[in-house]
Every structure is written in structure tokens, then in C-alpha cells.
Amino acid sequence: MDAQAVEQAKERLRKADKALYALKTATCYEEAEEAWSDFLLAASTIYSKLEQGAKQAKGKSAPWFGRKKKERKDDPLLRFLHHARNSDEHGIKRVAARGGNARGMNGKPLMFNEYEECIMEYRDSVTGELKTTPAILHGPSLQMVRVHDDRFGDYCDPPIQHLGKTIEVEDNSLIGVASLGFTFLTNLVAEAETLVPR
């Protein structure tokens, strides 16, 4: 792996970290949309830098990157981030919806990006039994949507799995998915760094 490519990927990782922080601390839709777009661009550029670095190097780098590229194609969360970036960059459709709830379960107003945990009741359609499940009530915030890449007619639904595991209810939000993506990207760059000749 080319050392300069890894350094540039680290710089983009720092940009992704800043964008994630801005997304988490946004106080309005416009701030959140800008941060989401910045995060998607930084995440995509990390892959681009590492791909170029793998091409420049000899040895294990090219096969390693080939596996990582396939993983991005196969993993629902990574594929979602990739498609959302392509749609944001090349299309005109929104890559996140403005949504959420103005008030919590107690009627108190919810701030932007605020959420409260709650228990939802539902009736089992087979047994008729009343059951409960944990849920998150989100205040005004950006929501995940199906993203479209009109260039190729591709679309991708919001992920419900990542790395073979179900995304837990507390992470099943745009901020949660971005956080999981950032953790993955951090590990990806660290792994790429181990391929730099010493």
C-alpha cells in the first residue's frame, strides 16, 4: 500500500469525523443535510484514495482492496453509504428526509436530533397476544430514505444489517448508521496502514 494514499485516507477520515460530529450536533435540517453530505463524500473518498494506493503498490494491497470493495458492495450499510453518496453527488433527489416528531410521549417538545426511548405495544398477528418492543421516538431530525442513483437506475434501501449482524434499534437512525460507518472506516484505514512497507 502506498504510504501517501494512507495519509490522504487518514485526512479524509478526519473530515468524516468532523462531519459526523456536525451531524450529531446539528440544530436544524440545513446543518444536518450539509453534514450528511460532507460525511458521505469523505467516506467515498477514503475508498478512492485506498484504491489508488493499492494500485501503486505491489504485493498484498491490490487483492486486499478487491476484498474490501466487494465487502462494500455486499454489506447493506456500506452499500447504502456508497449509493447515498452517488445519489447526492450525481442526482437531484434527497438522500435523507426531513422528519421526526415535534413532541415526545409526554407531550414535551423535542429538540432537533433529540430522541427518547420508549416501549411500543402491538398485537401479534398470529396469536393475538399483546406484546412490547423497544423503540426510539426521534425528534425533528434527518431520516434515512431509499436512495436512487439515476445514472444506472440503482436504488438502495436503508440498512438493517451490518457485518452480518442486525443493526440494533438505538443505531437504526441516520446518525447511528453514520457512526457505524465511521467505525468501519477507521478500521479500514488502520488495516490499510499495516500494508505499507516498512
134 and 147 both lie in a single domain: no
Nearest CA to 96 out of 150, 142, 157, 30 is that of 142
Please check whether residue 198 lies inside any domain of the structure. no
Q: Does the residue 27 lie in any domain?
A: yes
Residue at 189 is within a domain: yes
With 80 as the cut, is the pLDDT of residue 170 above it? no
Kindly give the pairing relationship between strand 161-162 and strand 154-156: unpaired
Identify whether 9 is part of a domain. yes
Based on the fold, state whether residues 68 and 105 are members of the same structural domain.
Answer: no
DSSP 69: H
Tally the domains of the chain. Answer: 2
Same domain (yes/no): 74, 109: no
Pair 1, 57: CB distance under 8 Å: yes
| Residue 99 neighbours by CB distance under 10 Å | 15
CB 115 within 8 A of CB 67: no
Same domain for 92 and 110, yes or no, is no
pLDDT tens per residue, range 80-136: 999 999 999 888 888 999 988 888 888 899 999 988 888 889 999 999 999 998 888
Same domain, 28 and 117: no
Domain that holds residue 92: 3-97+143-193
Separation of alpha carbons 140 and 147, rounded Å: 20
Q: Do residues 38 and 127 share a domain?
A: no
Residue 53 and residue 22 share a domain: yes
Question: Using N-to-C axis directions, what is the helix angle for 174-193 and 61-74, rounded to 10°?
Answer: 170
> Do 32 and 126 reside in the same domain of the chain?
no
Furthest C-alpha separation in the chain: 64
Q: Give the pLDDT score at 111.
A: 93
Provide the strand spans (E) within the chain.
97-99, 115-123, 130-138, 141-143, 147-149, 154-156, 161-162, 165-166
Here the cell at position 168 is: 440494533
pTM (two decimals): 0.88
134 domain residue, yes or no: yes
